[in-house]
Amino acid sequence: MQYIGLALLVGCLALLLLYLVWRAGWRLEWLLGWLKGCALLALLGVCVVIGAVAWELAQFRTITDGERIATLEFRGISHQHYEVKVDEAGDTQHLPLQGQLWELDVQVLRWRGLPHMLGLEDGYRLNGLTGRYLTLEQQREMDAALAPSLHGTPAWRDLWYWLDRFDPGWLYADAFAIRFMPIADGARYSVEIGATGLSPVAMNTQALDAIKGLE
């Protein structure tokens, strides 16, 4: 009986509050206005998301087989510390890099289904340039620091990041990578892209000597 009584008491309180709300001027117009405001806010949010997607898509370039997409030039600063000049389609970045090897990651968007049949071509965007050490101890110390992305887009609005986690079926996230290329002071490399991956090309004697020394 105790809980039945408590239930009745709470129920009466709810009815009292409902009566007060009605007496205070409950009108259907107010409810419709509130719903309209919520719908407009939701639509505004959708507009922001679509705008962010458009901004992200504008940063990708069409994959052309055999195209040179970037050049990397290394300049020694101190022992196993370098400055890398990254030249991509006329845009140049200067980045610090540590280690004995360099690695490059590229984000790739691949179209499937109807968009692919309509002729939409796969696209790419440079993502990350990182250095590696040959010794495990040095590499463990480096792994504690995250390298910034080359495109500068944070993960929360990175289109590729979300596609990699939620595959819509008609567009999916792929990735190309170059691994374990040697670094040397003055070495210059070009990076070429194809339908299936990336190809590093040594552009001077310093790069060629570094590759030979790694073999």
Domain end residue (candidates: 11, 26, 57):
57
- Most distant CA atoms of the chain, gap in Å: 93
Q: Are residues 71 and 138 in the same domain?
A: yes
pLDDT interval class at 142 (50, 70, 90)? low
Q: Whose structure tokens read 């590759």?
A: 211
Give the model's pLDDT for residue 172: 92
Residue 140 has pLDDT above 90, yes or no: no
Which region among 6-20, 90-104, 129-143 has the lowest average model confidence (pLDDT)?
A: 129-143
pLDDT interval class at 71 (50, 70, 90)? very high
Total number of domains constituting the chain: 2
Q: Are residues 15 and 96 in the same domain?
A: no
Which run of H or of E encompasses 95? Answer: strand 91-98
Which region among 17-26, 90-99, 133-142, 143-152 has the lowest average model confidence (pLDDT)?
A: 143-152
Q: Are residues 68 and 52 in the same domain?
A: no
Residue 75 has pLDDT above 70, yes or no: yes
Domain end residue (candidates: 42, 57, 72):
57
Q: Are residues 44 and 72 in the same domain?
A: no
Q: Are residues 128 and 190 in the same domain?
A: yes
- Give the C-alpha separation, 71 to 92, whole Å: 10
Q: Are residues 50 and 80 in the same domain?
A: no
Mean pLDDT over residues 30-58, rounded?
A: 90
CA 72 from centre of chain? 21
Q: Are residues 73 and 41 in the same domain?
A: no
pLDDT interval class at 144 (50, 70, 90)? very low
Domain end residue (candidates: 57, 81, 104):
57
The residue range of the domain holding 95 is 61-214
Structure tokens at 21: 């709300």
Give the model's pLDDT for residue 17: 84
For all residues of the chain together, what is the average pLDDT?
88
Spatial contact of 163 and 172, defined as CB atoms under 8 Å apart = yes
Give the model's pLDDT for residue 192: 97
pTM exceeds 0.75 for this model = yes
Give the model's pLDDT for residue 110: 95
Q: Are residues 182 and 145 in the same domain?
A: yes
Query: Residues of the chain with pLDDT > 90: what percent?
Result: 61
Q: Which residue has the higher pLDDT, 213 or 189?
A: 189
- Report, in angstroms and rounded to the nearest whole number, the Rg of the chain calculated over CA atoms: 28
Residue 93 has pLDDT above 50, yes or no: yes
Q: Are residues 10 and 111 in the same domain?
A: no
Q: Are residues 137 and 198 in the same domain?
A: yes
Q: Are residues 42 and 144 in the same domain?
A: no
Give the model's pLDDT for residue 134: 84
Residue 51 has pLDDT above 50, yes or no: yes
Q: Are residues 145 and 172 in the same domain?
A: yes
